[in-house]
Amino acid sequence: MLSRARKEILLKTVAQAMPNYVMNVYLIPLELCKELEIMMNSFWWGSKRNGGGGINWMKWERMCKPKDFGGMGFKQIHIFNVAMLGKQVWKLLTSPTSLVAKVLKARYFPRSSILDANLGFNPSFIWRSIMAAKDVVIRGRRIQIGNGQQVIIGKDPWLPDPEGGFTTSELPEEIVMAPVCSLMMANECRWDYNVVNDLFNTRDRDLILKIPLSVRRDCDMWH
């Protein structure tokens, strides 16, 4: 009995908001996500009091597109779930001194970082859920260069390229594991052009030289 506008408000503020707390901690099974989306789609297109009786003129995936692209801006539950769990991975990465980070590190990755962690033996459901989002965070993370002392040239994603922050040049082993600060002029806040030009291919060289260095930024930061 509701208009389309009222149904949209009800779906976005109630139906899609209710599982937010659970999705922030647990990975909801795909079958449940699909069932919830079918129920919401039926409610949107339904014409009777119980939400049924209508024809679903558009797939839910298309309705989840932004309105500027022909959709209604609804959420795909599984993708949104993974995104919320990715926030937990990011907190473990950027706030390693927090209580939850210390507990999880002691249990699952005592000798490595969250980026190198795996499921381990007999993991909890919470840890399984966090690990399901780890790859998403890894693909999107970058390091903003400060002093370059904590960033490894061939191991960490530090180049300002949306397609991939890792170096693609063939480098000697000692350069691969060297800190980024070794590419800077000693006691100067600028890149050593000759070293960068000799070691890296054109793509890596151009990206490195585009990175601004500042004396006011004395540490490397994830972003």
Q: What is the pLDDT of residue 50?
A: 53
- How many angstroms separate the Cα of 114 from the Cα of each of 68, 104, 142? 37, 9, 15
SS (H, E, C) 141-171: CCEECCCCCCCECCCCCCCCCCCCCCCCCCC
Name residue 222's beta-bridge partners.
Answer: 143
Q: What is the pLDDT of residue 176?
A: 92
pLDDT in tens, the chain (223 residues): 778 788 888 899 998 889 899 999 999 999 999 999 998 988 888 765 555 556 777 888 888 998 888 888 999 999 999 999 999 999 998 888 999 999 999 999 998 888 888 888 889 999 999 999 998 888 778 888 988 888 999 988 999 988 888 999 999 999 999 999 999 988 788 999 999 999 999 999 999 999 998 877 778 887 7
N- to C-terminal Cα separation, the chain: 46
Q: Which two tokens stand for residue 14?
A: 């109630």
d(CA 1, CA 66): 25
Let me know: does 87 contact 29? Beta carbons within 8 Å: no
Q: What is the pLDDT of residue 49?
A: 55
- How many angstroms separate the Cα of 105 from the Cα of each of 29, 57, 92? 26, 48, 9
No. of helices (H) and no. of strands (E), the chain: 10, 2
- How many angstroms separate the Cα of 123 from the Cα of each of 94, 130, 171? 22, 11, 38
Q: What is the pLDDT of residue 47?
A: 61
Q: What is the pLDDT of residue 194?
A: 93
Q: What pTM, to 2 d.p., does this model score?
A: 0.74
